[in-house]
Amino acid sequence: MDYKKVWKGSALKRAACLVAGLTVFGLADNPISTYHYLADPGAAADDEYFYIITDSDDPAPYNSNGYKIYALYAFRSKDMQNWTDYGIIYDARKVNGINDIWASGIAVHDGTFYIVFPDGGGGGIGYIKAPAIDGPWTNAVGQGKDKLVGGRGIIGCDGVSWCFDPGIFIDDDGTTYVTWGGGESNSRPNTDNFDIVKLNDAKDAPVGNGSHVKVNNLPTRKMLEASYIHKHGNNYYFSYSTGWQQGAPTIDYGMSNNVMGPYTWKGTILGDPSMNGRSINGNNNHHGIAEFKGHSYVVYHDRRIAKGHNGLEIIPADDGQPKPNEGYHRSVSVDEMFYNADGTIQTVKVTDEGPKQIENFDPYDWYPALTSSKQKGIRSRSNFVQGKKAEHVLIPLSSKESWIRVSGVDFGTAATGFTVEASSAADGNKIEIRTGSATGTLAGTCTLKNTGSKNTYAENKCEVEGLKGVVNQLFLVFKGNQDSTMYVKAWGFEGSGTTPPEPQKPFGGTAWAIPGKIEMEDFDIPGTGRGAGMDSYSDNDATDHGAESNGGESYREGTGVDIYKKATGYVVGYNQTDEWLEYTVNVAAEGDYTMYAAVASANSTSGFKLSIDGDDITESIAVPQATSGEDNYDDYNKVKANVKLPAGEHILRFTVTGDWMDIDYINFVKGKDAEDTEPMTISNKVKLATEATSSFDVFDLSGKKIARFTARNMAEASRLWRDGSVKGSEKARGVSLIRNSENGMISKVRVTR
């Protein structure tokens, strides 16, 4: 589900907030997440959101004496109190060529996000980009390289001791700078641990080599690691973590009127956050700084959760053991930062409360489940797939005290309903909506449908009452007899300010007429709003691999669907298993139709199926392999199937059942086994694939061959076996495997008698 889809009523809601004015809010609790261990934050902001990326100590066992860091997490907030946790957005364990991912930097410019990350804590600096904070993230290095710095990078590490802890800064004119480095030195102070390199712009690879950073007037504290660049007014700031020799590291900084320096040391931004038991004296420090809506903020890590500071729940380590080693189980916090009149920075006051909420929370949007200002008794799980947006779910420990809190919620006139997308593998799981506290006034209860599996989701709706005006503290309380039997994906309220979701629409505004031809590149425009069923396509990655054939421009910009331009028009290519496209169709009359599809494949196992309103109208239809040469996707064939269609307007879905096929169009002709009305135009080598026959072998689940017969395609073979129309099939029961002996395609067929 795309959580960037927004309600069209947002302008009205903003106006309502301005009229009502901002409420005096309570204060948030640090850290921003209390259900997993996070560290090494970086920060960025645009006009709408403040963003934080972190790495994670979650893989570390309870008795760890070192760091185990493999993945990046992401958060964002509109109000600096309620944070949406997107979970793992990039995972070294699932990306080829990367070892570990340690402290990283983030920037956002003109709607594109950029991250620089260290590979393996010293193996060079990677560079990735994405259209949204939750991805999908792709390599941004360019020039055929997989690293920006070091390794197979464009430039070397330039002699710094530790080629890691990168930061990224994009200046007002769009010029991008990357800093990295760190290390111990016998000299005190040491000024040659860090580099800065200038990139061409926010997208392109660097020009020349790095330049060692010089900071003048340094005191005795060493420059150790965690280099960072930010700007305030006309001043540039270079900040870093100091060395361990002088006690716990601080975050110090220098100022300059030139981003490349030299800088002049001015003081300490952030002292050691060990005060009052939050951290551990002598352990490391890391930070990120960004300006947002007229305020400046610093994010940093501490050890609040592992120490149980200020009543925080000490969550187990990743191996389930209680009371994990405090030094290697960190958490991320945020506080406001202030400047003096001369541009110098006041040392940040580390607080339990965090920054003040700067605007009301809008409940009439659709939020990932882990959107909250505080949490208790919950866990989370990420499902990172390279090339896809991040997926993250909330898992309540519902037999105990389990809830999330949302702060400063403006319900306007009144909320009338609550919707939650969740799975439930048990009866009786429910979510209570309460105000004031986890046991406060009950506004409504949503009992979750038993979906039979934690991986099968459904929408659940319930009525609410008493939610109007600004509610300072709203609680979603999770109740159930057994822990971890529900997964919560997203939620939102309905009421004043709500705009009903818009369903998907036909491309061009008119449903495809049947009988008639459907051009596959013109799939429906996705819908907008909350809940499932708004998408009109599913593609395995965000890259349009066909854009190059169209002068670098995507025919359907922003979808990632791979559409190639041919001499005779557009085709959908690069199709992979489980990808799908949907089309609004208008069927003239109920009855029998013959479906013809123009397809091409260099693969022997390509295939697709069709469904109407979720019900299959074909089995998997085999796509013939090209015979005019290897990888020839211009060798088009026609395949056909007889289908029954209902009259009226419906959603037709095309689903890929076997990798690597291209498809130009589908044509529906009235009648069973009717003649095709569309000539083949892409290739002169027209072959009606269903006219030839192939041999099919049938095996039971032990691998024993039990029959052999001929059919025109896999769909027909499956039907003949299921109907008992071929020798040996009349006694078949249960699941059989049918294999096309010529191209190797296999289909699983279940028979019930």
Same-domain check for residues 592 and 732: no
Q: Which of 223, 229, 170 is nearest to 201 (CA)?
A: 170
pLDDT tens-digit map of 99-122: 889 999 999 999 999 999 998 766
Least trusted range by pLDDT, from 109-118, 577-586, 622-631, 707-716: 622-631
454-491: per-residue pLDDT in tens? 999 999 999 999 999 999 999 999 999 999 999 999 99
CATH number at residue 279: 2.115.10.20
Domain of 476, in residue numbers: 367-495
Q: Both tokens of residue 541?
A: 């990655």
Calculate the alpha carbon distances from 100 to 124, 181, 226, 700 in Å.
11, 17, 17, 45
Spatial neighbors of 235 by CB under 8 A, at least 6 apart, are: 255, 256, 257, 343
**DSSP H or E run through 718:** helix 714-723
Please, which pLDDT band fits residue 3 given cuts at 50, 70 and 90? very low
Percentage of the chain with pLDDT > 70?
86
76 & 178 share domain: yes
Helix (H) or strand (E) holding 42: strand 38-45
126 within a domain of the structure (yes/no)? yes
* Residue 10 DSSP SS3: helix
Residue 348 lies in a domain: no
Give me the chain's average pLDDT, please. 85
Same-domain status, 619 and 659: yes
Q: Tell whether the model's pLDDT for residue 517 goes beyond 90.
A: yes
**Of 436, 462, 495, which closes a domain?**
495
- Are residues 467 and 533 located together in one domain of the fold? no
Q: Using alpha carbons, select from 636, 610, 642, 634 the residue that is nearest to residue 623.
A: 636
φ, ψ for residue 743, nearest 5 deg: -115, 0
Query: Are 300 and 156 contained in the same domain?
Result: yes
Beta-sheet strand order (sheet of 176-181): 167-170, 176-181, 194-198, 211-212
User: DSSP secondary-structure letter at 685?
Assistant: -
pLDDT of 256: 97
Assigned domain for 357 exists = no
Residue 459: predicted pLDDT: 93
Band of residue 261 on the pLDDT scale cut at 50, 70, 90:
very high
The residue ranking higher by pLDDT, 748 or 373, is 373
Tens of pLDDT, residue by residue over 42-87, are 999 999 999 999 999 999 999 998 888 999 999 999 999 999 999 9
Is 356 among the domain residues?
no
The residue to which tokens 């991912």 are assigned: 101
Same domain, 319 and 380: no
Average pLDDT over residues 245-272: 88
The yes-or-no verdict on residue 679 having pLDDT over 80 is no
Q: Are both 157 and 175 inside the same structural domain?
A: yes
Q: Which pLDDT tens digit goes with each residue over 206-221?
A: 555 678 888 888 887 7
Q: What is the DSSP string of 494-527?
A: EETT--PPBPPB-TTSSPEEESEEEETT-PPBP-
Q: Is residue 453 part of a domain?
A: yes
pLDDT at residue number 274: 66
Task: Give the residues across from 718 on adjacent strands.
Answer: none
Q: State residue 2's pLDDT score.
A: 33
Contact 169, 179 (CB under 8 A): yes
Domain tally, the chain? 4
686 pLDDT tier (thresholds 50, 70, 90): very low
Verify that 35 and 139 share a domain, yes or no.
yes
% of the chain with per-residue pLDDT over 90 = 58
Q: Are residues 50 and 131 in the same domain?
A: yes
Identify the weakest region by mean pLDDT among 206-215, 384-393, 604-613, 660-669: 206-215
Is residue 506 one of the residues assigned to a domain?
A: no
Residue 8 maps to a domain? no
Q: Contact, 56 vs 39, CB < 8 A?
A: yes
pLDDT at 245: 56
**701 and 684 within one domain:** no
Phi–psi pair at 721, nearest 5 degrees: -70, -40
H/E element, 50: strand 50-56
Query: What whole-number distance in Å separates Cα of residue 526 and Cα of residue 508?
Result: 13
Among 535, 432, 557, 494, residue whose Cα is nearest residue 3 = 535
106 SS3 class: strand
145 and 179 part of one domain: yes
Work out the average pLDDT over 429-442.
97
**Who's near 690: CB < 8 A, 6+ residues apart?**
638, 639, 640, 641, 712, 713, 716
From 670, 690, 710, give the residue that closes a domain. Answer: 690
Pick from 626, 605, 624, 639: nearest CA to 746 = 605
Nearest CA-CA partner of 306 in 273, 334, 264:
273
- DSSP 3-state of 730: helix
Residue 373's CATH number:
2.60.120.260
Residue type for position 48: E
Q: Could you tell me if residue 347 is inside a domain?
A: no
Q: Are residues 646 and 715 in the same domain?
A: no
Q: Over 241-270, what HEC string results?
A: EECCCCCCCCEEEEEECCCCCCEEEEEEEE
Tell me the C-alpha distance between 45 and 289, whole Å: 9
Q: Can you give the pLDDT at residue 683?
A: 43
Higher pLDDT, 5 or 63: 63
Confidence band (pLDDT; 50, 70, 90) for 741? low
